[in-house]
């Protein structure tokens, strides 16, 4: 797959670069450039990212960072079975637990929420950092909702992280999930409050909390372009009305024109008669 010339491979994280040092230099550069493309495209063009991840995987399948990138690219394309296999491979290579929450979410994607809940209660969760633990809580709440255990999902999300006024990278998503769970059981006033709190914490627009809040408040957003198009349609409609009115008056106009033509013809006949009378008088004078 083509890679833009401005992508050098130096853009990758230093830890990943260190992993690639086990490869020959030229090969390491090729793998690095493909990994950069995966990171660059995974949000806006998941299919493109997936393609580059497959190239990197073909070049260096024994590098944990490559397997992890391939896993996230597959996950972004909802290829959960493939993603889970890649995450497991990366975890075996590193021995870390960082991928535990996303592995559990893959189980949800495969229709196995019970398995995700089992993972949420596993010892590995205690080894996660704070961000990982919050992510695991979100996955567990999602699994509860998958099983129609809506009240349990709400309880799962209730935590010190949710109650904290401190804004962390996970705060907006946690508040959003809680608001959505409240709304699912009909607790609309509370849901609105937490959607508003999610908006306050969502500095990078990672959720659509503002849209959900506006929807609950009955606010409708009108696209300016659509509004102008509507004005254009209105102008065309008015023009059409004018044409219709003109056509409706056409018989009257035609009648007036006919009368004018008739008067003109009568005037012409009178002139002709006068001219003939003058001619006869002239001829009689000549005879006399």
**pLDDT at position 48:** 97
Q: Which two tokens stand for residue 8?
A: 């050098």
Helix (H, G, I), strand (E, B) or coil at 244: helix
DSSP 212-238: HHHHHTT-----HHHHHHHHHHHHHHH
The answer to whether the beta carbons of residues 130 and 122 sit under 8 Å apart is no
Could you tell me which residues come within 8 angstroms of residue 22 by beta carbon, excluding any fewer than 6 positions away?
63
> Whole-angstrom Cα distance, residue 178 to residue 187?
11
* Count of Cβ atoms closer than 10 Å to residue 184 Cβ: 15
Between 232 and 100, residue with greater pLDDT = 100
pLDDT at 273 over 70: no
- The count of other CB atoms within 10 Å of the CB of residue 245 is 9
% pLDDT > 70, the chain:
76
The mean of the pLDDT values for the chain is 85
Q: How many helices (H) and strands (E) does the chain have?
A: 14, 0
Considering only CA atoms, give the Rg of the chain.
39
At 227 the pLDDT is 54
pLDDT value at residue 218 = 82
Provide the token pair at 176.
Answer: 């959003």
Q: pLDDT tens digits, residue range 28-78?
A: 999 999 999 999 999 999 999 999 999 999 999 999 999 999 999 999 999
């Amino acid at each position: 797959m083509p890679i833009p010339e401005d992508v050098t491979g130096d853009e990758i994280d230093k830890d990943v670069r260190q992993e690639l040092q086990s490869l020959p230099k030229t090969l390491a550069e090729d793998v690095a450039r493909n990994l950069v493309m995966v990171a660059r495209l995974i949000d806006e063009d998941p299919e493109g990212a997936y393609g580059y991840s497959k190239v990197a995987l073909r070049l260096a399948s024994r590098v944990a960072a490559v397997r992890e990138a391939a896993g996230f690219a597959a996950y972004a394309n909802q290829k959960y079975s493939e993603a889970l296999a890649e995450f497991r491979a990366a975890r075996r290579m590193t021995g870390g637990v960082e991928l535990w929450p996303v592995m559990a979410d893959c189980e949800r994607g495969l229709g196995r929420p019970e398995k995700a809940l089992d993972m949420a209660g596993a010892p590995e969760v205690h080894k996660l950092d704070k961000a990982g633990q919050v992510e695991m809580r979100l996955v567990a709440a999602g699994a509860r909702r998958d099983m129609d255990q809506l009240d349990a999902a709400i309880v799962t999300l209730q935590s010190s992280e949710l109650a904290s006024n401190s804004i962390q990278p996970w705060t907006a998503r946690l508040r959003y999930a809680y608001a959505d769970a409240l709304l699912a059981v009909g607790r609309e006033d509370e849901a609105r409050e937490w959607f508003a709190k999610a908006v306050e914490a969502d500095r990078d627009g990672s959720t659509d909390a503002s849209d959900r809040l506006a929807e609950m408040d009955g606010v409708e957003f009108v696209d300016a372009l659509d509004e102008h198009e509507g004005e254009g349609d209105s102008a065309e409609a008015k023009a059409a009305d004018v044409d219709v009115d003109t056509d409706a008056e056409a018989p009257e106009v035609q009648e007036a024109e006919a009368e004018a033509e008739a008067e003109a013809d009568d005037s012409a006949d009178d002139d002709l008669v006068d001219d003939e009378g003058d001619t006869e008088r002239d001829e009689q004078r000549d005879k006399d």
